[in-house]
Amino acid sequence: MAARSASAPSSAHPSSHQPLAERLRPRTLGEVIGQQHVLGPGMPLRLAFESGRPHSCILWGPPGVGKTTIARLMADAFDAQFISISAVLGGVKDIREAVEQAQAARDGLMQQRTIVFVDEVHRFNKSQQDAFLPHVESGLFTFIGATTENPSFEVNSALLSRAAVYVLQPLFEEDLKRIVGLAQAEQALPAIESVAIDRLVAYADGDARRLLNTLETLAMAAAQEKLTEITDAWLLKVLGERMRRYDKGGEQFYDTISALHKSVRGSDPDAALYWLVRMLDGGADPRYMARRLVRMAAEDIGLADPRALRLALDASEVYERLGSPEGELALAECVVYLAVAPKSNAVYKAYNAARAWVKQDGTRPVPMHLRNAPTQLMKELDYGKGYRYAHDEEGGFAAGENYLPEGMAEPGFYQPVERGLEIKIAQKMRDLRERNVAAAHPDVQAPDTGV
């Protein structure tokens, strides 16, 4: 959830016996911390609030970023009846009861609008999601779904087409620090060392609910020990394994990802799995891990096994569909495959060599025979003249043809290794070079390549 702004006074006086997350829940739109890309002045969701006309929407974002809070505020802003359904615990019975309540509110003396909020909407199956459609279309109620999963995959297209999608982001560090300040202003916890606040913010990782729950745990423990200040050392002692084992932005984080990358490059599946699990256990974002695996497949395996890149992309997609913890198995499968796959950095080296060459070389003109000639004038200027269409040549290869700028020697950027598929690629390149030599010097025997 996104806590209320430190500068705005609460419009109510919640009981100190309530959970801290509920005590700090924003009660007006101006009290919301974070999500200014949709709630700031002139932004789409703010405009929806100000229009006075509620509309169905999907709030997509990670846990603890304010999805439920925004839905409740929308109900308050439109003086609407708020009905909340948990897709984890609810079913068709809950949907039917929500419809009945919405009809009663519409047909009653007050003729009140209704907002039906479905938390974790991706947990509902197709038929359950379809049950909302006729009532959304008729305007009986406004539908708001909250999901941590990509709605393109998890929400029925029919329902998705009738709802705007708002993407909510993890809270920034400064947002989370403001929430700590709010908790202190509520006298919910004692003073905290600045380094301890930094650690708490890193641990929360953009999740306000996680931060507030942790603060509440610390407050109770500090009260039992009659502490006047929460220090970093005491924080680590109390929370123990719950805390991150590395700082997300610190040296240890990058050391660990380096160890994972080097274990994959070194073809050690056990070590690669160990470092992957270490990072996931420490709180690393699995999506970040998926991106790194894609990079490893391109950099260290390349064309020695082109399936590796596809598998890395598939693992990333599987995680997006399943989330944690189920989707993490796909990342583990990918890590093992990358580790045991044949290795080649030939494409990586070729790309870097080509970049360095282009950076220092002049802008060479494109040879006339390689230029496109879409107009008659260009044809008259010999654009494309003499170009040999490879598909019409023997073996689909125009032996002796030159595709580099005039005067540029063969740079040899790509040098395939003798591993995996690149063994065959290297052989193919040798064969093509022999044909080029034979075409350029038909009376000279091509050198023996040992093939």
What is the C-alpha to C-alpha distance for residues 208 and 171, in angstroms, rounded to an integer? 7
Note the pLDDT of residue 8: 37
66 neighbors 32 (Cβ within 8 angstroms): yes
Residue 106: CA count within 13 A, CB half-sphere: 14
Which of 170-179, 235-244, 268-277 shows the lowest mean pLDDT across its residues? 235-244
What is the C-alpha to C-alpha distance for residues 233 and 212, in angstroms, rounded to an integer? 20
Q: Read off the pLDDT band of 71 (50, 70, 90).
A: very high
Note the pLDDT of residue 298: 96
pLDDT digits over 210-259, tens only?
A: 899 999 989 989 989 988 899 988 988 887 655 555 455 555 677 888 99
Give me the chain's average pLDDT, please.
87
Average pLDDT over residues 152-164: 89
pLDDT score of 4 more than 60: no
Average pLDDT over residues 290-316: 95
Range list of β-strands (E), 94-235:
114-119, 142-147, 164-167, 191-192, 229-230
Note the pLDDT of residue 239: 77
Q: Read off the pLDDT band of 449 (50, 70, 90).
A: very low
Note the pLDDT of residue 132: 94
pLDDT score of 326 more than 60: yes
Q: Has this prediction a pTM greater than 0.75? A: no
pLDDT digits over 82-105, tens only?
A: 999 999 888 889 999 999 999 999
What is the C-alpha to C-alpha distance for residues 181 and 158, in angstroms, rounded to an integer? 43
**130 Cβ contact list (under 8 Å, min separation 6):** 156, 158, 159
Residue with tokens 């359904």: 85
> CA torsion sign, 69 to 74 to 80 to 83?
negative
Note the pLDDT of residue 10: 40
Which residues, in sequence order, are bridge partners of residue 166? Answer: 59
Question: For a pLDDT cut of 70, what percent of the chain falls above it?
Answer: 92
Which of 163-172, 232-241, 271-280, 307-316 shows the lowest mean pLDDT across its residues? 232-241
| DSSP conformational letter for 81 | E
Count of C-beta atoms within a 10 Å radius of residue 191: 12
pLDDT digits over 5-27, tens only?
A: 443 334 444 555 678 888 888 98
Q: Read off the pLDDT band of 309 (50, 70, 90).
A: very high
pLDDT score of 446 more than 60: no
Q: Side chain identity at 219, as an amino acid letter?
A: A
> CA torsion sign, 92 to 97 to 101 to 107?
positive
Note the pLDDT of residue 30: 86
Note the pLDDT of residue 11: 42
Note the pLDDT of residue 328: 95
Note the pLDDT of residue 361: 87
Query: Terminal CA-to-CA distance of the chain, rounded, Å?
Result: 66
Q: Side chain identity at 2, as an amino acid letter?
A: A
Count of C-beta atoms within a 10 Å radius of residue 74: 23
pLDDT digits over 128-147, tens only?
A: 999 999 999 999 999 999 99
What tokens does 207 get? 């999740």
What is the C-alpha to C-alpha distance for residues 272 and 339, in angstroms, rounded to an integer? 7
What is the C-alpha to C-alpha distance for residues 126 and 97, in angstroms, rounded to an integer? 19
Cis peptide before 325 (omega within 30 of 0): yes
Q: Read off the pLDDT band of 268 (50, 70, 90).
A: very high
Helix (H) or strand (E) holding 59: strand 57-60
Which of 123-127, 336-340, 406-410, 442-446 shows the lowest mean pLDDT across its residues? 442-446
